[in-house]
Structure 1
Amino acid sequence: MARVVVDVMPKPEILDPQGKAVLGALPRLGFDLVTDVRQGKRFELQVDGEITAEVLADIDRVAETLLSNPVIEDYEVHVEDHSVSEVAHEAGRA
């Protein structure tokens, strides 16, 4: 069993009020090193069997249609417990 992670973030040109709220709170808590915050979502999907290019293509469709709003968000799919470069190469992405 493998874990596929989908990270979803607002596109750079989209305002991120939650990230700005966190950024505003940090100095009040004594954290002065952070200069910007963007808040996103992380989804961890358990997948039975081998991670193939076909499985990654299915996960990509899930990410695009359900887990993200492609108009205002970007997403990345990556595999934990496997070499990401190996899987990306198998998927024809490398």
Structure 2
Amino acid sequence: MKARVHVMLKDGVLDPQGEAVRHALGAMGFDKVEGVRQGKVIDLELAEGATEADITDMCEKLLANTVIERFEIEMV
């Protein structure tokens, strides 16, 4: 079984990496980009019997900083 976890900064949290990417894109002539939010994707290969609750527990304890980040779980 496979799961994909998308981790992004919560709305309202400053994203300096995203801002750097936006600035670089503007410098390259991509002037229609008004904002960039950067995150991470974590692919998990899981043993049979793993549940979405198990993955949520992993996210809350290690994979995401839930104070400033949100996560979404996608079963793939």
TM-score (norm 2): 0.91
Counterpart of 2:74 in 1: which secondary structure? Answer: strand
**What residue ranges of structure 1 are gaps of 5+ in the alignment?**
81-94
| Runs of 4+ with deviation above 2 angstroms | 48-51
Q: Name the structure 1 match of 2:12.
A: 13
Q: Gaps (5+ residues) in structure 2?
A: none
SS at match of 2:31: coil
Q: 1:29 deviation in Å?
A: 1.1
**Which amino acid in the other structure matches residue 74 of structure 2?**
H
Residue in structure 2 matched with residue 85 of structure 1 by the alignment: none
Structure 1 CA distance for aligned equivalents of residues 2 and 58 of structure 2: 15
SS in 1 for 2:52: helix
Instruction: State the Cα deviation string for residues 25-80 of structure 1 (Å, max 9, x = none).
Output: 101112123211001111000012266xxx11000000111001111000011111
Distance of 1:44 and 1:77 partners within structure 2: 10
Counterpart AA for 1:3: K
Between Structure 1 and Structure 2, whose CA radius of gyration is higher?
1
The equivalent of 2:61 in structure 1 is 65
* Partner SS for 1:41: strand
Residue 52 of structure 2 is matched in structure 1 by 56
Larger helix proportion of the pair = 1
Structure with higher RCO (Cα < 8 A, 6+ apart):
2
Q: How many residues align?
A: 76
CA RMSD of aligned residues (A): 1.3
TM-score by length of 1: 0.75
Q: Does residue 32 of structure 1 match 2:28?
A: no
